[in-house]
């Protein structure tokens, strides 16, 4: 690793964060859609959905947090695409800086922006009646899972950000990721779903992640969900990182 990697990444991270500070609508837009969904499901559909939970906002918040992340990482692809088309990457490559620091700066910017959006969503959920008796250890475990999930999806976002031909193409990849929690245990128990859909829902990453977070919030036994969730997050992260770095090397060569 280039000895200047950390210094270069910090400098470029500061550049990206300044852009976000001057344009806070990125974070606001990321948080608005999940909040609107939360309001809709709790106050319109919540009374008609049987989840065996005392509070529907408690039940569906983990899924809303995943949707918040999936929505937020589309801006990573957008910012990367903008830098690629604007010639910023070529300019950086002509400077004596670690090449991978350019990507890592975008990834860490995504992490910071998404953490802020998640905090906003949780605060709104608290106003809507969300309550958790979980201790600090459980909250830290939830934060760790969400950070891993954010990093995994962000490295996925890097790939279309580098390869898309249009700005719409750079962001469109996030739509299936936003939709994925709807086909999980996020909003209704999977045992209420028809056979094929239930089989898919019970064996896709969103369900294990949602179940693990929900169990941590409610201080229920986690079982294997925590390990399956971590396995999905780490596996997706590693595969996406390898593909993203290989794509970046081809683009930079």
* Distance of alpha carbon 20 from alpha carbon 208, whole angstroms: 32
* Domain carrying residue 25: 5-252
Q: Tell me, what's the pLDDT at 230? A: 95
The pLDDT score that the predictor gives to residue 94 is 60
| Rounded Cα gap, residues 114 and 69, in angstroms | 6
The string of DSSP letters for the chain reads: --TTHHHHHHHHHHHHHHHHHH-THHHHHHHHHHHHHHHHIIIIIGGG---S-S-HHHHHHHHHHHHHHHHHTHHHHHHHHHHHHHTHHHHHHTSSS-THHHHHHHHHHHHHHHHHHHHHHHHHHHHTT------HHHHHHHHHHHHHHHHHHHHHHHHHHHH-SSHHHHHHTHHHHHHGGGGTTTTS-GGGS-HHHHHHHHTSHHHHHHHHHHHHHHT---TTHHHHHHHHHHHHHHHHHHHHHHHHHHHH-
**pLDDT (tens digit, 9 = 90+) per residue, 167-189?**
788 778 888 888 999 999 999 88
* Nearest of 81, 103, 71 to residue 168 by alpha carbon: 81
Burial zone of 24 (CB within 10 Å; 0-12 exposed, 13-18 middle, 19+ buried): exposed
Looking at residue 47, its pLDDT comes to: 66
What pLDDT is recorded for position 123? 95
pLDDT at position 52 is 67
**How many domains does the structure of the chain reveal?**
1
Cα(165)–Cα(219) distance, integer angstroms: 47
Per-residue model confidence (pLDDT) at position 137: 94
Per-residue confidence (pLDDT) for residue 167, from 0 to 100: 79
Give pLDDT, residue 72: 87
The answer to whether 1 and 98 have CB atoms below 8 angstroms apart is yes
Residues 6+ apart with CB under 8 A from 124: 35, 38
Kindly give the parts of the chain with pLDDT less than 50. Answer: 1-2
């Amino acid at each position: 690793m280039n000895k200047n990697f950390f210094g270069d990444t910090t400098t470029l991270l500061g550049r990206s964060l300044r852009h976000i500070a001057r344009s806070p609508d990125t974070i606001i837009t990321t948080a608005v859609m999940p909040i609107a969904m939360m309001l809709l499901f709790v106050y319109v559909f919540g009374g008609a959905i049987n989840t065996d939970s005392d509070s529907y906002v408690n039940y569906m918040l983990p899924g809303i947090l995943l949707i918040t992340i999936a929505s937020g990482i589309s801006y990573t692809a957008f910012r990367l695409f903008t830098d690629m088309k604007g010639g910023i990457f070529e300019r950086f490559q002509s400077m004596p800086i670690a090449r991978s620091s350019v990507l890592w700066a975008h990834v860490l910017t995504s992490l910071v922006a998404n953490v802020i959006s998640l905090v906003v969503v949780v605060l709104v959920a608290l106003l809507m009646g969300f309550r958790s008796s979980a201790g600090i250890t459980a909250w830290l475990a939830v934060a760790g899972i969400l950070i891993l999930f954010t990093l995994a999806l962000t490295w996925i976002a890097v790939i279309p950000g580098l390869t898309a031909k249009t700005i719409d193409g750079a962001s469109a990849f996030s739509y299936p990721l936003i939709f994925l929690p709807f086909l999980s245990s996020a909003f209704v128990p999977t045992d209420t779903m028809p056979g094929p859909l239930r089989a898919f829902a019970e064996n896709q990453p969103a369900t294990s992640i949602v179940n693990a977070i929900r169990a941590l919030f409610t201080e229920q036994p986690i079982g294997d969900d925590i390990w399956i969730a971590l396995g999905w997050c780490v596996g997706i992260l590693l595969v996406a990182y390898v593909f993203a770095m290989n794509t970046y090397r081809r683009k930079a060569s």
